[in-house]
Amino acid sequence: MTVSRRGFLASAVTGSALAAASSTTMLSALSSAANAASPPGDVVGKITVGYQGWFACKGDGAPINAWWHWSGANNQVPPSPSNNTIVAWPDMREFTKSYVTAYSNLNNGQPATLFSSWDQQVVDTHFRWMRENNIDTAALQRFNPNGGEGPTRDAMTVKVRAAAEANGRKWYIMYDVTDWLNMQAEIKTDWLNKMSAHVASPMYAKQNGKPVVCIWGFGFSEPSRPFTPAPCLDVVNWFKAQGCYVIGGVPTYWRQGINDSRAGFGDVYRAFNMISPWMVGRISTLQDADNFYTNLTVPDQAECNARGIDYQPCVLPGEVTRRHRRHGDFMWRQFYNVIRAGCQGIYISMFDEFNEGNQIAKTTETLATVPANSGLLALDEDGTFCSSDYYLRLTGDGGRMLKGQIALTAIRPTPPVAGGGGDNQPPTAPGNLQVTATTSTSVTLSWSAASDNVGVAGYQVRRGTTVVASPAGSPFTVTGLSPSTAYSFNVTARDAAGNISAPSNTVNVTTPAATAFVALRSRANNLFVTAANGAALIANGASAGTAQQFERVNLGNGTIALRARSNNQYVCAEAAGAQPLIANRAAIGPWETFALITNPNGTITLRAQANNQYVCAEGAGAQPLIANRAAIGGWEQFDLVTP
């Protein structure tokens, strides 16, 4: 499958369509309908999450050998801003193996890496998160297994089974029939020859004593699912004849057969043991959620109750980069609505769907761990800091409400940061915000620390009203700016409970015009100083290429900093000058500050503020540069060259 479900399900929902969905007859049916057929099991009375497990990286050992579902049209090269399928960035901190992409470094300077679902540790970690947050069941998505993806999907089933068994989570197969034109025969063969063997797993989901199978996609009015009702009904009844409890992932408007549903599929839908209507692309606001509750969820539940069908509505967290989430309130409103309607279970879309941005898996918390200039946002996009596990915890609390372990409430009980629910006092505002350095593309800010009754957890740097970074403290350099452009900045503080302070004073700054890079040619050996990534500076370059170029940052009072073009890091007189110079700092401090001295012969010399010593091309340039000379000689002189 090469496109997300959202791409073909994002048709607008009109007011007239919603009105058509509701009727007095259906609402009255709810009050008089019989209870649904099934007692609590592994899907009834439980939270189920859709699990893709479809991410791979070149070199990970997967048979597909591609950047599967990370890259766009060309999945043989790493994903980048112009070649990708994702709209959110995962929190990578708990994965033991990662793969370098073609994105720019993260805003904190670290490489932009991604995980592979092929690595068992990734799947194990995902299922551990489910266990830790009391998420009951995972529905493993299975698309047409007969093409090039088949061997990888077969192996992923084994990996998911192992992780489910290790973590005590129930799981089942969820077929997606998108683009599966020979589905009627092949889905039966796949179940008999491959998937039915996994029913032997002690953690394979059972409902009413029967193994659970879901089929997603019957009846959708899209060309990728061109099936007529007869073969679909045949497949549903065939699985039931195999002794399975069959869930239908059906169109939003399944009951009326309008909008996203083909006409004539009523018998197919009502043959399922459980109905789970799709919701991604349908709602994005609290008002949308309430409208769908009144006009779809309530009459859907009434229809299912009247026919003895279990009802499993879909709940989604909302897309991060489209700013749907409202720090959890959007998702909680859906939990409240479907539970008060009387649903038999809940399907979460999705666990790991970084392509649609509706993932509950751990997601990067702040822009500091998002690739620079990627256009992606983090969980704090609306100004509220949310821990990376927040939507896992929120889902767990939704499950508790479904099971009656906590009272039905429209008020979200889950704090954005674990353990932060009792503290409502925000920190004081940071003080004395000032600009300490500028380049054509960056501004360095410093401020005095805020205070808090419990403790300050970090800060948010805002450009205007937009949070652009969440550093731990001062100073911080905002990058990715445009030359000759006016900006305003302020800083707020946050505590562990997610409380945000009032903003600091605002500073206004205009970046200078684009600055040409400079190179330093040592008079000791007439070679250019090189900043190789991870290595000390040394005068060994015959020409001024990228590794020999530096951006000169004017700090005032005759002092400068040098930022290496090769890695965008500032040159540092390491260990207060006791060790060689190296370009390894993301911000400017005393060790990164140098006095620029112009000598009578036109050369320049650098004096490190760290120890007040002159920078020397040691060993006549054969050894790394180090700030260790009390006087200026030939080894301490450099030509400042514009490449």
Grade residue 8 by pLDDT with cuts at 50, 70 and 90: very low
Q: What is residue 584's three-state secondary structure?
A: strand
pTM: 0.70
Q: Judge whether 416 lies within some domain.
A: no
Q: Judge whether 548 lies within some domain.
A: yes
Question: Based on the domain organization, do 496 and 616 belong to the same domain?
Answer: no
DSSP 265-296: -HHHHTTSSEEEE--TTT--SHHHHHHHIIII
pLDDT tens by residue, 60-112: 999 999 999 999 999 999 999 999 999 999 999 999 999 999 999 998 889 99
Decide: 281 and 10 in contact? Cβ < 8 Å: yes
pLDDT tens by residue, 593-623: 999 999 999 999 999 999 999 999 999 999 9
Q: Judge whether 364 lies within some domain.
A: yes
Question: Based on the domain organization, do 481 and 563 belong to the same domain?
Answer: no
Query: How far is it, in rounded angstroms, from Cα 446 to Cα 471?
Result: 11
- Does the CA dihedral 248-251-255-258 come out positive or negative? negative
- Reference 131, options 190, 11, 227, 47; nearest CA is 47
Question: Based on the domain organization, do 584 and 438 belong to the same domain?
Answer: no
In the DSSP assignment, the letter for residue 120 is H
Round the CA-based radius of gyration of the chain to a whole number and report it.
Answer: 29
Q: Judge whether 421 lies within some domain.
A: no
Question: Based on the domain organization, do 140 and 74 belong to the same domain?
Answer: yes
Question: Based on the domain organization, do 47 and 140 belong to the same domain?
Answer: yes
Q: Over the chain, what is the mean pLDDT?
A: 91
Amino acid occupying residue 638? F
Q: What is residue 425's three-state secondary structure?
A: coil
Q: What is residue 313's three-state secondary structure?
A: coil
Decide: 354 and 67 in contact? Cβ < 8 Å: no
Question: Based on the domain organization, do 61 and 29 belong to the same domain?
Answer: yes
Question: Based on the domain organization, do 169 and 34 belong to the same domain?
Answer: yes
Render the burial of 378-416: b for 16+ CB within 10 Å, e for the rest. bbbbeebbbbbbbbbbbbbbbbbbbeeeeeeeeebebbb
Question: Based on the domain organization, do 544 and 395 belong to the same domain?
Answer: no
Q: What is the phi/psi pair of residue 288, to 5°? A: -60, -45
* Structural domain span for residue 585: 519-641
Query: How far is it, in rounded angstroms, from Cα 8 to Cα 281?
Result: 9
Q: Does the pLDDT value for residue 508 go beyond 80?
A: yes
Q: Judge whether 422 lies within some domain.
A: no
Question: Based on the domain organization, do 337 and 448 belong to the same domain?
Answer: no
Pick from 137-151, 195-209, 439-453: least confident: 439-453
Q: Judge whether 425 lies within some domain.
A: no
Q: Judge whether 424 lies within some domain.
A: no
Of 510, 530, 546, which residue sits at a domain end? 510
Grade residue 441 by pLDDT with cuts at 50, 70 and 90: confident
Q: What CATH number has the domain bearing residue 452? A: 2.60.40.10
Q: Judge whether 410 lies within some domain.
A: no
Q: What CATH number has the domain bearing residue 567? A: 2.80.10.50
Q: What CATH number has the domain bearing residue 326? A: 3.20.20.80
Of 510, 530, 564, which residue sits at a domain end? 510
Tell me how many domains the chain contains: 3
Question: Based on the domain organization, do 528 and 475 belong to the same domain?
Answer: no
If one compares 267 and 532, the residue with the highest pLDDT of the two is 267
Question: Based on the domain organization, do 341 and 235 belong to the same domain?
Answer: yes
Decide: 449 and 430 in contact? Cβ < 8 Å: yes
Question: Based on the domain organization, do 464 and 368 belong to the same domain?
Answer: no
